[in-house]
Amino acid sequence: MPAFDLLLQAEAMPHRHLRGGDYVYRFGKENDDNIYVVVDGIVIEVDGSEAFKYGTEIEAGGFLGDIEVMSGSKTRVQSFKVKSMSATLAIMDKRAVNLLGGLHPQFFLNLLKSAVDNLTRAEQLLLQKKPDDQ
């Protein structure tokens, strides 16, 4: 079986094209149950004042939305915005996630690694917060 290539698989998925500064989604908004794969461009997490969060850039081949979909959250728990001039995202609904995972077990390993990295980053940010920041 050939090696798994997420970007190659993403070519067959529906795409969303965004311009620099556009939001992919915002904290607190309804979860559409989609995981997004960055095909081209750079997407970054932003805080409540729309400032870029250091160390949260996601480039080609990276996932976003994985935490909410995998946890079954009804709302988005992060906000992501396009940092580059433009970005192209592949849209993966739950059916596509299950289908791709059945065909390519490596996909689930990549998805799990992404979720663990995102949760570790979120934990580090929480630990760095001062008690009066809450």
Superfamily for 8-128?
A: Jelly Rolls (2.60.120.10)
Domain ranges of the chain: 8-128
Structure tokens at 11: 């070519």
Query: In Å, what is the CA distance from 99 to each residue of 3, 51, 105?
Result: 17, 36, 10
Q: In this predicted structure, what is the pLDDT of residue 57?
A: 92
Q: In this predicted structure, what is the pLDDT of residue 118?
A: 73
Which ranges of the chain have pLDDT less than 50? Answer: none
Q: In this predicted structure, what is the pLDDT of residue 2?
A: 62
pTM recorded for the entire structure:
0.81
Q: 79: helix, coil or strand?
A: strand
Q: In this predicted structure, what is the pLDDT of residue 126?
A: 63
